[in-house]
Amino acid sequence: MSNMKLFDVYPINDITIVRAKDSYVWDDKGIQYLDMYGGHAVISIGHTHPHWVKRIEEQLNKIAFYSNSVKIPIQQELADLLGKVSGKENYQLFLCNSGAEANENALKLASFHTGRKKIVAFSKAFHGRTSLAVAVTDNPSLVSPSNQTPNVTFLPYNDEEALTELFEKEGNDIASVIVEGIQGVGGINVATDEFLKTIRSLCDKYGSVLIADEVQCGYGRSGKFFYFDHSGVQADIYTMAKGMGNGFPVGGILVAPFIKPKHGMLGTTFGGNHLACAAAIAVLEVIQKEDLIEKAKQRGQYLMNKLKGIDGISGLRGEGLMIGFDVPEELKDLRKNLLYQHKIFTGEAKPNIIRLLPALTISRKQIEEFLEALKEEVEQYANAKINS
Ligand SMILES: Cc1ncc(COP(=O)(O)O)c(C=O)c1O
């Protein structure tokens, strides 16, 4: 037997998930869990959706992969449907495999297009772990010495004044501004309309490229296809991944028409493979057929309104089915208790923030199941406080 170890980089829960259906997953002992975490914001149309399974199976029996050196009509099929569902029909699609890669390509493209080096990013941003993506991520512990670059300036999120000041000084050197409409890893921080509008107008004035990182907040999760759509601001490049494949690894960027492609400027072996396109098409078909963007909006409002009535949590924020709240230090085991006692997966952010990122198909009944568990935990804490 081999003694090879897995490279130990993930702090993992002692749970083995072996099966999943819609918003439930089951472990190897047959225990059922409610997934309010969407497998890290990835599950958009529900685990193992039958249409998604069928599409992938059918494609697998035809061809899974051939290189981008030949025509791959299913890429155009995906682009047409994505244009229709996102409303960005005049944009161009470049396909890759992950969120980091999407951002890497977006940042590179903006630099090619402008001939400039500088990038503006924001406090608490998370954009991925590859070289430029991690350089614009505001967490020094993730940035290796080789990734460090003087080309990135971090500014406070939602601070129009700081941004204007920087552009007045260095605007002609700025290739791009990259921003999450709702910061995910950073703790569910929502960009104000004013902030996004200010970024847009400064990018217009100085000829910089506006990149919307929609990897987590996009693809219908916020109740609109892209979070940016809430503010009416158009980005020059949208980056996508997570919900795009419902668990099949696929990412992409939507590129505004004024940014022109050149052969060889971007490329990938696996990006846009037949199987990934089939999975991504299935996701969009289900989003359309089941009206999931509207559902995300309504279910999100329902969940948010109910959460407002729970004493003991604070700082409720988010949009659609991307919701965060703060829990007091005394309730710091809440996430663990929800998981091990109530069998509910949730997400977290530091410090003591709960992140809810369920599938867009989550039902009211499942939301109630979560709320009951949450109330029980909060009440237990309140009672313990009274008795102490
Ligand atoms: C906003 C955002 N951008 C980029 C990424 C990186 O995506 P991936 O892990 O697919 O590389 C993430 C992942 O959490 C994310 O939340």
Q: Are strands 237-240 and 251-255 parallel, antiparallel or unpaired?
A: antiparallel
CA distances 27 to 19, 47, 228, 343, Å, are 7, 14, 37, 10
User: What is the amino acid identity at position 286?
Assistant: V
Residue 185 CA to ligand 1 centre (angstroms): 9
Residue 54 phi, psi (nearest 5): -65, -45
> In which residue are the tokens 């309010």 written?
36
**Phi and psi at residue 81, in whole multiples of 5°?**
-70, -40
Give the position of tokens 């919307």: 212
Q: Please report the DSSP string for 113-143 in residue order.
A: HH---EEEEETT----SSHHHHHTSS-GGG-
Which ligand 1 atom is the nearest neighbour of the CA of 183? 1
Per-residue model confidence as pLDDT tens digits over 66-92: 999 999 999 999 999 999 999 999 999
How many angstroms does the Cα of residue 41 sit away from the middle of ligand 1?
Answer: 10
For residue 229 and ligand 1, the question of a CB distance below 6 A is answered with no
Question: Which residue's CA is minimally distant from atom 8 of ligand 1?
Answer: 99
Distance from Cα 387 to the centre of ligand 1, integer Å: 44
Listing DSSP states for 324-340 in one string gives EEE--GGGTTHHHHHHH
Cβ pair 213, 253 in contact under 8 A = no
Residues 275 and 97 sit within 8 Å (Cβ to Cβ): no
Distances, alpha carbon 281 to alpha carbons 52, 66, 67, 234, in Å: 8, 18, 19, 24
Residues contacting residue 370 through CB under 8 Å, at least 6 positions apart: 34, 36, 344, 356
Residue 282 has what pLDDT?
99
Given a contact cutoff of 8 angstroms between Cβ atoms, the answer to whether 128 and 100 are in contact is yes
Which atom of ligand 1 is nearest to 100's Cα?
11
Give nearest CA residue, ligand 1 atom 7: 99
Residue stretches of the chain with pLDDT short of 70:
1
pTM (predicted TM-score): 0.98
Distance 326 CA to ligand 1 centre (A): 22
Ligand 1 contact, 127 CB (< 6 A)? yes
In contact, 41 and 348? CB cutoff 8 Å: no
228 lines ligand 1 (CB under 6 A): no
Of 162, 184, 179, the closest CA to residue 233 belongs to 179
Report whether residue 215 contacts ligand 1, using a CB cutoff of 6 Å.
yes
Q: Is 243 helix (H, G, I), strand (E, B) or coil?
A: helix
Instruction: Report the atom number in ligand 1 closest to the C-alpha of 251.
Output: 10
Tell me what pLDDT residue 380 has. Answer: 86
